[in-house]
């Protein structure tokens, strides 16, 4: 896994460099094909290259990732790839090239499990039947070219797993704040700042009034943040600025707050005589409510317990850019059950955690609406229920333990892991 992450990190892929993104997409496709045994589709939209694998005819589970980063080409010189003191470092390793590698390895484990069971028999479905893996190349700037692609994939799936970074303590993320984005344009009148400043209308001063008004729209009690960000004004140091502009980032928990802030932004009015204010932009992503991920999180908890991974935890209302909220809100908006944070952990010495999350992700993919198929954590050996005679049924044995499902006797002394053989019985 570390070798795969290194290859991806060393292939720099800033979102605004389409040639670099295309090179990265080719590498992603090669690495993925090596693990999945299938070639990827390359989907180019507006010059940006996305990569997709589809298995089977009926989509059930969507795994989403991205291979673009915020790091410009050349960042490896100052931030080289390295593993030091138990920490893997390098441009884009956390957000989110390590998550891509985890997706490849989780799905490869499912393929390996299927090859060792009856799933691979004549006429059987592919071990990844119903799974779609979509890796986009423009997540960091807000997925301008891939939004419709994501919505289309999510609309036909029952569940979506986003392989972005996990929350504190490895928490899965079950909610997302919605996003609105605005640009406020201010127009004034130029004049010489030394000879006749009184004849000008200072756009910088007007922008300052507007920035204070916009910042006051936030509401901590409702979890609403309204943040003025990038600011530009004026042309030269001896001229009263004739124009100014600033961007506004809004994060909200519910649609009512998004509407309130939008209405207030539209109502902004100039404070200085002769100045004018124009607001562009608006709601960009709807909020993802916890109801969209409640059932999926419950499934993750059950699987984590069955697999001996311990209780799963959750993180609510995540707004950090590594949360993949651009995909998540769209997927949830398409009535697809969603949770994120299935990817790497944000601190050192978490090898065990990475393996656990890989196992959980694979089990989530295998188990969704496929009750008759074997999955990681399930011993496929046929044994009688409750006695040594009668029709055989799969014995569900928790990975790393000897606990069988109620009414089913263990087929062997165990314990099992993903790659163990069942002693004295047919191979996994």
Same domain, yes or no, for 83 and 186? no
Other Cβ atoms closer than 10 A to 333: 18
The first and second tokens of residue 366, run together, are: 């295998």
Q: Are strands 379-384 and 392-395 parallel, antiparallel or unpaired?
A: antiparallel
Same domain, yes or no, for 275 and 196? yes
Exposure of 133 by Cβ count < 10 A (0-12 exposed, 13-18 middle, 19+ buried)?
A: buried
What are the pLDDT digits (tens) for 231-285? 999 999 999 999 999 999 999 999 999 999 999 999 999 999 999 999 999 998 8
What are the pLDDT digits (tens) for 131-152? 999 999 999 988 999 999 999 9
Q: CA–CA separation, 396 vs 378, rounded Å?
A: 5
pLDDT of residue 175: 83
3-state helix, strand, coil in the chain (%, to 5): 35, 25, 40
Q: Is the predicted pLDDT of residue 93 greater than 60, yes or no?
A: yes
Same domain, yes or no, for 228 and 242? yes
Query: Is residue 205 a part of any domain in this protein?
Result: yes
Q: What angle do CA 214, 217, 218 make, to 5 degrees?
A: 115
Q: Quickly state the pLDDT bin for 162 (edges 50, 70, 90).
A: confident
Same domain, yes or no, for 330 and 313? yes
Same domain, yes or no, for 401 and 264? no
Query: Is residue 188 a part of any domain in this protein?
Result: yes
Q: CA–CA separation, 411 vs 165, rounded Å?
A: 37
pLDDT of residue 64: 93
Domain finish residue from 367, 399, 415:
367
The total number of structural domains in the chain stands at: 3
Same domain, yes or no, for 76 and 219? no
The first and second tokens of residue 24, run together, are: 């990265």
Query: Is residue 169 a part of any domain in this protein?
Result: yes
Q: Which residue has the tokens 């807000």?
A: 142
Same domain, yes or no, for 267 and 337? no
Query: Is residue 372 a part of any domain in this protein?
Result: no
Q: CATH no. for residue 345?
A: 3.40.630.10
Q: CATH no. for residue 254?
A: 3.30.70.360
Tell me the CA distances in angstroms from 69 to 17, 23, 154, one per residue in order: 10, 13, 23
What are the pLDDT digits (tens) for 52-71? 999 998 888 999 999 999 99
Eight-state DSSP code of residue 189: B
Query: How far does CA 101 lie from the centroid of its chain?
Result: 13
Q: Are strands 131-136 and 48-54 parallel, antiparallel or unpaired?
A: antiparallel
* 3-state SS class at 173: strand
Same domain, yes or no, for 356 and 308? yes
Same domain, yes or no, for 105 and 161? yes
Range from 16-20, 62-66, 182-186, 415-419 carrying the lowest mean pLDDT: 415-419
Same domain, yes or no, for 55 and 141? yes
CB 374 within 8 A of CB 125: no
* 3-state SS class at 16: coil
Q: Give the DSSP letter string of 98-153.
A: HHHHHHHHHHHHHHHHHHTSGGGSTTPPPTTTTEEEEEES-TTTT-TTTHHHHHHH
Same domain, yes or no, for 16 and 88? yes
Same domain, yes or no, for 185 and 169? no
What are the pLDDT digits (tens) for 10-31? 999 999 999 999 999 999 999 9
Helix and strand element counts for the chain (H, E) = 10, 18
Range of the domain at 17: 2-176+288-367
Query: Is residue 357 a part of any domain in this protein?
Result: yes
Domain finish residue from 284, 318, 338:
284
Tell me the CA distances in angstroms from 67 to 148, 285, 403, one per residue in order: 18, 21, 40
**Contacts for 186 with CB less than 8 Å, ≥ 6 apart:** 203, 206, 207, 210, 233, 243, 244, 245, 270, 275, 276, 277
Other Cβ atoms closer than 10 A to 75: 17
Eight-state DSSP code of residue 176: B
What are the pLDDT digits (tens) for 315-327? 554 544 333 333 4
* 3-state SS class at 234: coil
Q: Quickly state the pLDDT bin for 122 (edges 50, 70, 90).
A: low
Query: Is residue 416 a part of any domain in this protein?
Result: yes
Domain finish residue from 267, 284, 301:
284
């Amino acid at each position: 896994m570390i070798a795969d992450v290194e290859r991806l990190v060393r292939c720099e892929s800033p979102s605004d460099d389409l040639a670099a993104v295309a090179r990265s997409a080719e590498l992603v496709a090669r690495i993925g094909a090596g693990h999945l045994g299938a070639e990827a589709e390359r989907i180019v939209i507006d010059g940006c290259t996305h990569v997709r694998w589809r298995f089977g005819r009926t989509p059930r589970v969507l795994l989403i990732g991205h291979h673009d980063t915020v790091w410009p080409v050349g960042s490896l010189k100052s931030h080289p790839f390295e593993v030091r003191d138990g920490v893997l470092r390098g441009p884009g390793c956390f957000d989110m090239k390590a998550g891509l590698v985890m997706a490849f390895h989780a799905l490869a484990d499912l393929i390996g499990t299927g090859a060792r069971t009856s799933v691979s028999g004549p006429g059987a479905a592919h071990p990844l039947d119903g799974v779609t893996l979509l890796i986009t190349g423009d997540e960091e700037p807000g997925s301008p070219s891939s939004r419709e692609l994501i919505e289309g994939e999510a609309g036909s799936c029952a569940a979506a797993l986003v392989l972005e970074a996990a929350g504190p303590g490895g928490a899965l993320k079950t909610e997302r704040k919605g996003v609105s984005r605005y640009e406020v344009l201010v127009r004034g009148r130029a004049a010489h700042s030394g000879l006749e400043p009184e004849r000008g209308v200072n756009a910088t001063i007007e922008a300052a009034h507007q920035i204070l008004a916009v910042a006051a729209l936030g509401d901590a009690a409702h979890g609403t943040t309204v943040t003025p960000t990038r600011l530009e004004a004026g042309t030269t140091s001896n001229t009263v600025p004739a124009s100014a502009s600033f961007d506004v980032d809004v994060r909200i928990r519910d649609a009512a707050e998004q509407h309130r802030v939008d209405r207030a932004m539209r109502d902004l009015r100039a404070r200085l005589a002769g100045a004018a204010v124009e607001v562009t932009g608006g709601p960009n992503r709807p909020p993802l409510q916890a109801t969209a991920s409640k059932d999926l999180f419950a499934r993750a908890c059950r699987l984590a317990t069955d697999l001996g991974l311990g209780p799963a935890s959750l993180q609510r209302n995540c707004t950090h850019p590594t949360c993949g909220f651009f995909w998540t809100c769209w997927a949830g908006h398409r009535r697809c059950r969603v949770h994120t944070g299935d990817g790497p952990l944000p601190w050192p010495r978490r090898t065990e955690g990475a393996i656990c999350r890989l196992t959980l992700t694979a089990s989530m993919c295998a188990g969704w609406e496929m009750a008759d198929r074997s999955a990681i954590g399930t011993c496929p050996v046929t044994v009688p229920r409750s006695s040594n005679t009668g029709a055989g049924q799969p014995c569900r044995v928790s990975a790393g333990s000897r606990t069988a499902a109620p009414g089913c006797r263990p087929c062997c002394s165990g314990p099992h892991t993903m790659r163990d053989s069942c002693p004295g019985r047919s191979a996994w």
